[in-house]
Amino acid sequence: MPIKPTDPERERSRSEIGERIRSSRLAAGYTQAQLAAALSVTKNAVTNWESGSARPDLSLIAPLCRLLGISADTLLGCRPTGTQLTRREREHLALYRRLNVYDKASCDALLTSMVRGYDQAWLEEHRDDYLRLPQYELYFAAGSGHPLDAGTEESFAYLPRSGAAEAADFIVRVSGRSMEPTFPDGCRVLVERRTQLSPGEIGIFRLEDGEGIIKEYRRDGLHSHNPAFAVRTPGELGGVVCLGHVLGAVDESAAPTEHQTALLDDAAAVSRPRLRSL
């Protein structure tokens, strides 16, 4: 009878889970025998888990995680779906819950004051590092099209100062795949307000029926970068209007966090300008 080959991925997964059980057990101060007794299993079972020759039964995952002070995501090596508390943070939370209502209020006030101080220091150091640009949460279509008058909302985005950001007048988001790989579906682009382009430049355009598109302008029409999409020729375009020159995609990795954006927004609220109509 042929021997079934082992699955390297499965073996590696068991080994990694076993190592996480072992390191968490040691950190929690349990011996193998103590952990086994707490879970009502044999010491050999724990030994097998840690060696990677077996995995805990599904029914044991929750009590095992509680004893080890880790999440199931951590035990199984899954990417966390949200903010995970560290062991030290859980200890602080447990201590906080033992306080009376007045001491909790004092802790709350102290933490709030400290965080506000950090926020103010960050703002004073970095507020001039970012440009505040109008952002249209309107999808200028790179393929399927989207009417430009479908309800543009007023909002702003903050980007690190750069040559392209300094030259841009606003930001819009691409929808569709016709400009891939240059501008993938969903990316944001920096736009300089212009009504004319030179051949080879990429722009955003409003068609006669109100459709908004992003294309490369050439003398024979508007071109996609995805070869699966045909050229939009002057004959079919009708009364096309150029709304701006696309300077490039926004570097999302350099954008401020949601919290930093809120700080910048609060600082700019007193002098917020009105958006100009496209």
DSSP-assigned states of every residue in 231-267: -B-HHHH-S-EEEEEEEEE--GGGSPPHHHHHHHHHH
Instruction: Supply angle C-alpha 132, 135, 139, rounded to 5.
Output: 160
Return left, alpha or beta for 139; rule: phi > 0 is left, psi -120 to 50 is alpha, else beta: beta
| Closest to 21 (Cα-Cα) out of 93, 85, 69 | 69
Q: Which residue has the tokens 């309107």?
A: 138
pLDDT tens string 250-260: 988 888 988 99
Band of the pLDDT at 88, cuts 50, 70, 90? Answer: confident
Amino acid, single-letter form, for residue 60: L
Q: Are 144 and 223 in contact (CB under 8 A)?
A: no
| Closest to 247 (Cα-Cα) out of 181, 198, 201, 195 | 201
pTM, to two decimals: 0.58
Q: Are 232 and 216 in contact (CB under 8 A)?
A: no
Residue 37, both tokens: 């007794």
Average pLDDT, the chain: 83
DSSP 171-231: EEEEESSTTTTTS-TT-EEEEE--S---TT-EEEEE-TTSBEEEEEEETTEEE-SSTTS--
pLDDT tens string 10-46: 666 778 888 899 988 888 888 999 999 999 999 999 9
Q: Which residue has the tokens 């579906």?
A: 185
pLDDT tens string 133-183: 988 755 555 654 454 544 455 588 899 999 999 999 999 888 888 899 999
* Average pLDDT of span 217-241: 89
Query: Does 6 score more than 70 pLDDT?
Result: no
| Closest to 174 (Cα-Cα) out of 212, 228, 225 | 212
